[in-house]
Structure formats: C-alpha cells, structure tokens
Structure 1
Amino acid sequence: MLHPVGPLPAAVYWRRRLTVLVVLLLVLGGVSWLTVSLVAGSGAGAAAASGTAAPAEVPALERVVPTVSELRTPATAPVSAPAPAPEPVSDPAPAGPTPGGPCTDDMLGLEVRTPGQVAVGTKPTFELVVVNTASVPCVRTLDKQLQELVMVDAARTRVWGSNDCFPESSSDQRILAPGEAVVFLIVWGGLTSEPTCTAPRVNPAPGEYVLRGRLDTKVSGDAPIVLG
C-alpha cells in the first residue's frame, strides 16, 4: 500500500490518498465538534431545569473591603444609671397660733342659746356664748356694740335685732384662756323691730323662728325658738 502500482505516476496516487485523508479528518472533526456541542447543550439545559445557578463571582470591591459582618464592633462602654432625683422639699407646716396673740375667727366658737319656746308678748333672755377653741390663750375685743342677735321667721324675713332700738356700747378686751367661755345675756322686749326703729313695733305671730348671733365678723349657727 505504501508503493502504489498503476498506469499513472505515483504522485497522482499519493495526492489522491492525501485528499481522502483530509476529507476523513474533516469528517471526524465535524462529528467530534457536533458531539461536544450536544453534550454541552444538554448539560446547560439540565442546570436550567434544576434551577441551580452558577455561583456569581465575588465583586472585586468585596474582595478588598471586608463586609459589615466581618468588622468587629467596638464594645460599648457601660452606661451608668442616672443619679436619683432629689426628693422635693416639703414646705414646713404652718405655725400654730401665737400664745397671747389675737383671737382670730377660726380660734373662736360662737353659739346662741334660747329657752326653746316662749309665750308671745313675754320678754325672754337669750345667751350669746363666746369660746376660745384654740390651744393657746388669745386676746379678743368683746365690746357690746360688736355683739348682736337677729331673729328671722320661717321665710327668713327679719323680725327683730338686738341693736335696732336700744344699742349699747362698751370697751371690753379680754385674754381668753384655752377652752374659756364667756356668756353675754341679751333680753328681748318681745316686739318686732327694724334697724332704724321707726316702723311700728308689734308682737310677732306665733310660730317657729330662728335666732342668729354675731360677734363682729364671727357669725354663729341658727338657734330655733318657738313663739306660742
């Protein structure tokens, strides 16, 4: 086979053999390329079908700069608890009454006492009682002109006043000991009156009335009285 025999020159037979060899190599190369392409395509399709993506290449910046998770956060210095706020200073308790000072209205008790029931036209005596309710002695002016009794009827209409027609005056300043009571007697003439004492004075009608006492600016509660 290496020495072809024929009527033609040997070079012709060698060229034919070389041509056949080149064609054969081209055919074999094409078959190999086709086989590789088919295998690669089937592998890519399988990868796409399985949903597995090729790992992404790490960006060049992340290969140089560390991520946040790789950085170590410096320890935070412990925060000391705030100092407790100072307690508010309460105001000092008000001082009590001064011994020997004036008897203010809140240091006094004032009461009116009546017989309870009197006959119309009579002249009953009422009592105006002043008491030092404080724990210390104090001074109070008890002048006659500062004392008064007023009678009103059930409709709260003024009927009589002790200073209407016969006002009295005196100078009476006293030191009242703790718990000491001073009683003033006031007689009622049994007739109606008004502050000017110019209206006719008559006997009030029988019924229920109320007496109220006053010592300057201190006022008592109501004391009932029945006229029959």
Structure 2
Amino acid sequence: MAPEQSRPASSGVAQPGAAQPRPTRPSPAVYRRRRIVALALLLAVLALLVWGGAAIIGLFRGEPAAAGQVAPSVSATASQPAPAAADPSASSVAAAAGEATDDESAEGEATTASSDGTAACTEADIAVAASTSRKSYASSQTPVLVMTITNVGSSACRLNVGTSQQDFSVSSGSDRIYSSSDCLADPTDVDITMKAGSSETARFTWERRRSAPGCKPVSAKPRPGTYVVTVKLGETTSGKVPFVLK
C-alpha cells in the first residue's frame, strides 16, 4: 500500500486552472455621480479662469469704483461747507451752490483771474441785499439774517464770499447792537464763479445778543422793539431792512 502523500496547505492564492472571480462593474447611478462631480470641477476651474482674466483686464482699463467705494474726483461743483462762526451761538453759511475753490483760493491767496481766465468781480459787478427770514420774531424765536449777492454785470466773474468778507450788522436808531465781525475767529476765504445775473445767499443766525469791537463782553441784551439789519460783502453794503423783536 503506497504511503499517503500530504496535501499542501491552502495559501489563499488562486491555483492555476482554477476559476477566477469576475470583477463587479459600477452601476449606472455611480457613473452618473462621477460625471456630475467631474463636470462641477470643470465649471469651477473655468469660473476661476474667467474671473482672473476680468480682474487683470480691469486693472489695465481703469474700471470705475464699485458701489460703496469713493472714486477720485476730477472737479467739484458742490456747495461749500458752512464756515464756523466765532460766536458759538451763531452760525454763518457761505453762498450755496457755488463752484468749489481751488487750493490757492482755499489758502486765502488773492487772485485777479482763475486758471480758466475768469476775471475777478469788481464792485460794479456785485449788488448786495439784506433781508430776514421773518418780518417779526416772537420772544422764543431766533432771527435769521439773510445776505443775497447778485452778479449784475454782463459776464461771469469770480468772487470771494467767505466769512472774511461777510458782515451782518444790527442796529436800533443810532445804537449799534451787533456785528458778526466783532467776534469772528478764523475767517475763511471762499472763491466762487458767479454767472451774469446769478445770485447766491448767505444766512446768519443772530442769538439776540449785543457785541462790541474786539469781542469785548457786553452784559446788556436787546429789548423788544424795531431793529434794522445791514449786510456787507467786502466793500459792498446793502440798504437797511427793518424787523421786529417781540
């Protein structure tokens, strides 16, 4: 009887000639998900390329500032801000709706003509008129004095309408009551171009106080009665306009 031969232990490796397992193919749903993911990645890459190209083109073309950003201003025609008055109870507003001053005008340098050739206004070119916001004021109301400046010349001219040139005066008979120039600190120059026939307006709130030259303290207060307002711009003075304090 032949001796029994030992069988080699199974090593888990497929033996030659043995049937091989067939690989499992992904389902159609898996293929679809893979295609969707690949398409999404491709679109994202294309979007980044388009955005980068647009950004580079914008740098060379100088695109305008986006909403919320401040774009550089080439020229300004906005109204000048109200100059500060020396008297904390008063406020003075320079002429509204004028052309913005250039650097030299803002520094108070006198000029006879602007860079575009506009000549300075002469006294004959300008008329100044006084008025008040009301004909009479109750004891609880504060008078508003108004200066109206008009170019009565035949052509446009440049004019300094800053607080350095303005004066609002109140009197009663021969009694000098108030002048806005008495306590004016840091007077400003504001040059504007006025077209022929155009007008500008400046307003001043008078807090019913007396004043004296050099801003000397005055304890007396104006009483109810009739007063007169006179306004002045440079050397041009208006007529007298009455108003009533109650």
Using structure 1 for the length normalisation, give the TM-score: 0.53
- Match of residue 7 from structure 2: none
Q: CA deviation at 1:195?
A: 1.5
- Match of residue 17 from structure 1: none
The root-mean-square deviation of aligned C-alpha atoms, in Å, is: 1.8
The alignment status of 1:165 with 2:183, answered yes or no, reads yes
Q: Which amino acid aligns with 2:241?
A: A
Q: 2:164 touches 2:189 (CA, 8 Å); kept in 1?
A: no
Using structure 2 for the length normalisation, give the TM-score: 0.49
In 2 relative to 1, CA 146–210 (structure 1 residues): closer, same or farther, beyond 3 Å? same
- Match of residue 174 from structure 1: 192
Q: Which has the higher helix share?
A: 1
Q: Which amino acid aligns with 2:161?
A: L
In 2 relative to 1, CA 122–192 (structure 1 residues): closer, same or farther, beyond 3 Å? farther
- Match of residue 106 from structure 1: 124
The alignment status of 1:221 with 2:239, answered yes or no, reads yes
In 2 relative to 1, CA 119–166 (structure 1 residues): closer, same or farther, beyond 3 Å? farther
Count of paired positions: 129
Alpha-carbon separation, structure 1, partners of 2:221 and 2:123: 35
Q: Which amino acid aligns with 1:169?
A: P
Alpha-carbon separation, structure 1, partners of 2:204 and 2:169: 11
Deviations 1:24-64 (A, max 9, x none): xxxxxxxxxxxxxxxxxxxxxxxxxxxxxxxxxxxxxxxxx
Task: Give 1:36-51 correspondences, 5 Å limit.
Answer: none
Alpha-carbon separation, structure 2, partners of 1:208 and 1:190: 13
Alpha-carbon separation, structure 1, partners of 2:221 and 2:204: 18
- Match of residue 153 from structure 2: 134
The alignment status of 1:188 with 2:206, answered yes or no, reads yes
Sequence identity percentage? 22
Off by >6 Å, runs of 4+ in structure 1: none
Alpha-carbon separation, structure 1, partners of 2:127 and 2:138: 29
When Rg is computed on C-alpha atoms for both structures, the one with the higher figure is 1
